[in-house]
Amino acid sequence: MKKLATLAFAVLASGCFLTISADSTPIDSSAINTVNNSGSATQDITANPAWAAALPGSTWISFANTGNPSTPGFTTLPNGMNAIFSQTFNLSGTITAATLSVLADDTASVVVNGVTVYAAALGGSYPTCSSVQIGCLTATEGIFNIAPYLVDGSNTISFDVFQENGSSYGLDYAGSVTTTPEPGLLLMLSSGLVGLGFMQRRKLV
């Protein structure tokens, strides 16, 4: 209580309210963070050597061993199949920035809270994966501003990943969301501390 009272008096003496720094929420593909609708659990996979390295903080994922054809138990998926991978997370406060980078073999659609941010490049050229965004190479990495599609509360990002041509299959994504507390919350916290300080002072007098 004494520490809180001291903080409250400091706030009062300074003549200003508390400020709280922005929060950053990571978004990244992994067997832990990402679910899928295939009926099999999401798993981290060994990447195909031709793919770009996994984005910082993430891992290449699938629902089977579909990455590197040289690994024991490698599974080839039929062309034309697709699975939806998704991650749900909560945000609190005002969303000030949000970026998302996506790699996929062969290609993928990106949907944020039911809004299609990017439609998969179906029917195109697939020398290794999609030859245009979104593919599995650095040159075909999809980079998106998803801030307009996010809300204060629960959010879901989904990736519809397609096998169009070839043996390997996988998804990799990473990003972050920056939020700041609502002004009303800062005012409430500051007022509460000031009130606590007055109450503690009356007890000491």
User: pLDDT tens-digit profile of 63-83?
Assistant: 999 999 999 999 999 999 999
With a threshold of 0.85, does the pTM exceed it?
Answer: no
pLDDT at 68: 98
Spatial separation of the C-alpha atoms in residues 116 and 142, rounded to whole Å: 14
Average pLDDT score, the chain: 86
Pick from 44, 46, 33, 38: nearest CA to 86? 33
pLDDT at 183: 65
**Domain locations along the chain:** 1-20+182-205, 21-180
pLDDT at 166: 84
* Contact (CB, 8 A) for 146 and 117: yes
Spatial separation of the C-alpha atoms in residues 135 and 130, rounded to whole Å: 5
User: pLDDT tens-digit profile of 148-203?
Assistant: 999 999 999 999 999 999 899 999 999 999 999 976 544 444 444 444 444 454 55
Spatial separation of the C-alpha atoms in residues 110 and 37, rounded to whole Å: 15
Structure tokens at 153: 């509360």
Pick from 88, 70, 81: nearest CA to 108? 81
Spatial separation of the C-alpha atoms in residues 34 and 59, rounded to whole Å: 11
pLDDT at 184: 53
Domain 21-180 fold: Jelly Rolls (2.60.120)
